[in-house]
Amino acid sequence: MATKTFAGKIIEINEEGYLVNASEWTPDVAKEIAAEEGIELTDLHFRVLDFIRDKAGSGVALTIRSIGNSGIIDIKQFYQLFPGGPLKKASRIAGIKKPSSCV
Protein backbone atom coordinates (compact mmCIF):
# COMPACT_ATOMS: atom_id res chain seq x y z
CA MET A 1 0.00 0.00 0.00
CA ALA A 2 1.17 3.49 -0.78
CA THR A 3 1.16 6.36 1.65
CA LYS A 4 0.76 10.06 1.13
CA THR A 5 1.08 13.11 3.32
CA PHE A 6 -2.12 15.04 3.83
CA ALA A 7 -2.33 17.95 6.28
CA GLY A 8 1.03 16.95 7.76
CA LYS A 9 -0.06 13.36 8.46
CA ILE A 10 1.23 10.26 6.68
CA ILE A 11 -1.86 8.43 5.49
CA GLU A 12 -2.29 5.06 3.81
CA ILE A 13 -4.07 5.20 0.45
CA ASN A 14 -4.97 2.54 -2.12
CA GLU A 15 -3.96 2.51 -5.78
CA GLU A 16 -6.93 4.73 -6.71
CA GLY A 17 -6.11 7.31 -4.05
CA TYR A 18 -8.86 6.38 -1.56
CA LEU A 19 -8.08 6.34 2.15
CA VAL A 20 -7.53 2.84 3.52
CA ASN A 21 -8.69 3.75 7.05
CA ALA A 22 -11.71 6.03 7.28
CA SER A 23 -10.63 6.79 10.85
CA GLU A 24 -7.54 8.70 9.62
CA TRP A 25 -9.82 11.30 8.04
CA THR A 26 -9.95 14.86 9.35
CA PRO A 27 -11.55 17.97 7.84
CA ASP A 28 -8.05 19.22 6.94
CA VAL A 29 -7.26 15.98 5.13
CA ALA A 30 -10.52 16.42 3.24
CA LYS A 31 -9.54 19.94 2.20
CA GLU A 32 -6.28 18.71 0.71
CA ILE A 33 -7.82 15.79 -1.16
CA ALA A 34 -10.49 18.17 -2.46
CA ALA A 35 -7.80 20.55 -3.67
CA GLU A 36 -6.32 17.69 -5.72
CA GLU A 37 -9.75 17.32 -7.32
CA GLY A 38 -9.88 21.06 -7.95
CA ILE A 39 -12.62 21.63 -5.36
CA GLU A 40 -12.62 24.19 -2.57
CA LEU A 41 -14.75 22.90 0.30
CA THR A 42 -17.56 25.05 1.73
CA ASP A 43 -19.84 24.39 4.72
CA LEU A 44 -22.36 22.85 2.37
CA HIS A 45 -19.70 20.43 1.07
CA PHE A 46 -18.94 19.42 4.66
CA ARG A 47 -22.59 18.76 5.45
CA VAL A 48 -22.73 16.40 2.48
CA LEU A 49 -19.45 14.73 3.53
CA ASP A 50 -20.83 14.19 7.04
CA PHE A 51 -23.94 12.58 5.59
CA ILE A 52 -21.79 10.31 3.41
CA ARG A 53 -19.55 9.28 6.32
CA ASP A 54 -22.61 8.49 8.48
CA LYS A 55 -24.23 6.47 5.73
CA ALA A 56 -21.01 4.54 5.02
CA GLY A 57 -20.68 3.69 8.71
CA SER A 58 -24.19 2.23 8.75
CA GLY A 59 -23.31 -0.30 6.05
CA VAL A 60 -26.14 0.75 3.70
CA ALA A 61 -25.08 1.14 0.05
CA LEU A 62 -24.44 4.74 -0.92
CA THR A 63 -26.16 5.91 -4.09
CA ILE A 64 -26.56 9.24 -5.85
CA ARG A 65 -30.30 8.93 -5.26
CA SER A 66 -29.79 8.54 -1.52
CA ILE A 67 -27.86 11.80 -1.47
CA GLY A 68 -30.73 13.42 -3.39
CA ASN A 69 -33.01 12.16 -0.59
CA SER A 70 -30.71 13.39 2.18
CA GLY A 71 -32.60 16.62 2.70
CA ILE A 72 -29.30 18.51 2.39
CA ILE A 73 -29.04 18.98 -1.36
CA ASP A 74 -30.68 17.64 -4.51
CA ILE A 75 -28.86 15.59 -7.14
CA LYS A 76 -28.32 18.56 -9.40
CA GLN A 77 -26.53 20.46 -6.62
CA PHE A 78 -24.50 17.35 -5.85
CA TYR A 79 -23.16 17.43 -9.41
CA GLN A 80 -22.41 21.14 -9.02
CA LEU A 81 -20.55 20.67 -5.72
CA PHE A 82 -18.49 17.71 -6.97
CA PRO A 83 -18.35 18.08 -10.76
CA GLY A 84 -17.60 14.98 -12.89
CA GLY A 85 -18.32 11.72 -11.06
CA PRO A 86 -19.70 13.23 -7.84
CA LEU A 87 -20.19 9.99 -5.93
CA LYS A 88 -16.63 8.81 -6.52
CA LYS A 89 -15.10 12.21 -5.79
CA ALA A 90 -17.22 12.87 -2.71
CA SER A 91 -16.42 9.39 -1.34
CA ARG A 92 -12.69 9.95 -1.84
CA ILE A 93 -12.86 13.34 -0.12
CA ALA A 94 -15.02 11.85 2.67
CA GLY A 95 -12.30 9.28 3.29
CA ILE A 96 -14.50 6.25 2.65
CA LYS A 97 -14.11 3.38 0.18
CA LYS A 98 -14.94 3.81 -3.49
CA PRO A 99 -18.66 3.00 -3.85
CA SER A 100 -19.09 -0.20 -5.82
CA SER A 101 -22.17 -0.39 -7.95
CA CYS A 102 -23.18 -3.99 -7.80
CA VAL A 103 -24.69 -5.58 -10.84
Partner 1 sequence: MKKILILGGGTAGTIMVNKLRKALEREEWEITIVDQHRTHYYQPGFLFIPFDIYTRHDVVKPKGDFFPAGVNVVYAAIDRIEADRNRVHLEGGTFLQYDFLIIATGTQTRPDQTPGLKDALWYKEIFDFYTIEGAVALRDFFRKWEGGRLVMNIADLPYKCPVAPLEFIFLADAYFTKKGMRDKVDITYVTPLPGAFTKPVATRMLSELLQEKNIHIVPEFYLERIDNENKKLISYDEQEVPFDVLAIVPLNMGSDMIARSGLGDDLNYVLTDKHTLRSEKYENIFVLGDAANLPTSKAGSVAHFSAEILFENLMSAIEGRPLLAKFDGHANCYIETGFGKGSLIDFNYETEPLPGTFPLPGVGPFGLLKNTKMNHYGKVLFRWIYWHILLKGKELPVEAEMTMAGKKLWKF
Q: One of 1, 10, 102, 103 is an active-site residue; which one? A: 102
Binding mask 22-51 for partner 1 (x = CB under 8 A): ------------------------------
In degrees, to the nearest 5, what angle opens at C-alpha 39 toward C-alphas 2 and 85?
Answer: 75
Element (H, E) at 55: helix 43-58
Residue 8 interacts with partner 1 (CB under 8 A): yes or no: no
**Segment 69-74 long-range contacts (CB within 8 Å, at least 24 positions apart):** 72/44, 72/47, 72/48, 73/44, 73/48
Instruction: Establish whether 73 is a catalytic residue.
Output: no
Which stretch, 7-15, 28-36, 39-47, 59-67, contacts partner 1 (CB under 8 A)? 59-67
- DSSP summary character for residue 96: -
Residue 85 interacts with partner 1 (CB under 8 A): yes or no: yes
Sequence length of the chain is 103
Residues serving a catalytic function are 102
Binding site for partner 1 (CB under 8 A): 60-61, 63-66, 69, 75-76, 78-79, 83-85, 100-103
